[in-house]
Structure 1
Amino acid sequence: MKNVILSTLLALTTLGVSVSAHEYKVGSLTIDHPYARSTPPSSPVGGGFMTITNNGTEADRLIAGTSTFADTVEIHEMIMVDGVMKMNQIEDGLEIPAGKTVELKPGSYHIMFIGLQEQLKPDERRKGLVKFEKAGDIEIEFLVKDIAKMMDHSAMTDMKHGEETMDHSAADENKHDHKEMDHSEMGEMKHDDMKHEHGAAKDAN
């Protein structure tokens, strides 16, 4: 009985490490934390993200993908064209340089799920496959994150950064004003002292 309990606990512990790590390896590549953003019920498209590290000595390319919940999977990037943000498909694949890490993230490189067959809901795990030019194919799971919470976190980060910038600017202005006041006061005091000394000398004569 003790052996059964021990085996069960060991299995659960091993499973927990695997799930919490959310990491996959294929060839010399490591795929870390693949996730997708939740979508509205009628949305035809979705986005997938991950971090890919190339531990090898040769570059590789992310060239394709498939999923169980979308008709088509493409690799896209967001680029600025004439002051307007546009999304383009990377038809020849995304290069993963040797010894480097490439992050697929919102507003940059990402996987595009086109023709969603159903809504992607927060905390779900959705199966997919990514294909690399040299390392080959690997099946992964995308953890679906709540897009509303992601946006709130991003907004909070921007607000915090803005507050820090304002505080820094205010401190600089106060410091500048303080220097100007000190300089002005010292100039006035020095001028008054000179007048006083000049007046005293005149009276003595």
Structure 2
Amino acid sequence: MTLTKSLLLTTLLTCAWGVSAQEYQAGDLHIEHPWSREMPTNAPTAAAYFVVHNQGTSADRLLGADTPAAGKAELHEHVHKDGLMKMQQVQAVDIPAGGEAAFASMGYHVMLFNLTQQLRDGERFPLTLHFEKAGDVKVEVAVQKEAPAEHKHEQQN
């Protein structure tokens, strides 16, 4: 392979990786790869997932979210209670100083109700995250058929 072809291939792979791995910075908060799974045509709900890393020395809290892609967005978590897995709404999610909060399948997630249209693989939609200290942070959520590679192990646990 010539040097030119090698450089072109490296550039294309870097661009493709950049498209799939979105990251956002808001003060000390680093938000990694917001994504949602493609849902069946008649599904009225979906969920958004991401990881918030707090690189600062003081905690912050995610207070809520909203998006034009859904009539309502709520913070939810899965909990194991009385031998069953249940989903419940939470009012806020703490992001500890120097720590992280993972929004993943079977854990915290942003539940999207009354979708305005079917979320299709390859599309993106805006989501605004409301933090107590960092304020509003706008991200783009990538719709995917499958969980990203870094999230697949979380689903198997």
Q: Percent identity?
A: 36
Instruction: Tell me the secondary structure at the aligned position of residue 87 of structure 2.
Output: strand
1:60 to 1:138, Cα distance in 2 relative to 1, 3 A:
same
In the other structure, the counterpart of 2:6 is: none
Indicate the larger mover: 120-129 or 19-28.
19-28
Once the 2 structures are TM-superposed, how far is the Cα of residue 42 of structure 1 from its aligned partner? 1.3
Number of residue pairs matched? Answer: 141
The alignment's C-alpha RMSD in Å is: 2.5
Query: 2:122 matched to 1:123?
Result: yes
Once the 2 structures are TM-superposed, how far is the Cα of residue 71 of structure 1 from its aligned partner? 0.7
Contact 2:29 2:55 survives alignment (8 Å): yes
TM superposition outliers: structure 1 runs of 4+ over 4 Å: none
In the other structure, the counterpart of 1:65 is: 65
Once the 2 structures are TM-superposed, how far is the Cα of residue 110 of structure 1 from its aligned partner? 0.5
Instruction: Tell me the secondary structure at the aligned position of residue 106 of structure 1.
Output: coil
2: CA distance between counterparts of 1:49 and 1:154?
12
Query: 2:22 matched to 1:33?
Result: no
AA in 2 matched with 1:76: H
- Structure 2 portions without partners, runs of 5+: 1-10
1:25-58 CA-partner distances (Å, limit 9, x unpaired) = 1111000000011111111110100010001111
1: CA distance between counterparts of 2:152 and 2:68?
29
Name whichever structure is richer in strand by fraction: 2
1: CA distance between counterparts of 2:63 and 2:107?
17
Once the 2 structures are TM-superposed, how far is the Cα of residue 69 of structure 1 from its aligned partner? 0.7
Alignment of 1:43-54 (within 5 A): 43-54=43-54
Once the 2 structures are TM-superposed, how far is the Cα of residue 18 of structure 1 from its aligned partner? 5.5
Alignment of 1:141-160 (within 5 A): 141-146=140-145, 149-150=146-147
In the other structure, the counterpart of 1:9 is: none
| Higher RCO (Cα < 8 Å, 6 or more apart) | 2
In the other structure, the counterpart of 2:135 is: 136
Alignment of 1:1-205 (within 5 A): 16=15, 19-91=19-91, 93-146=92-145, 149-150=146-147
What is the TM-score normalised by the length of structure 2? 0.81
1:154 to 1:131, Cα distance in 2 relative to 1, 3 A:
closer
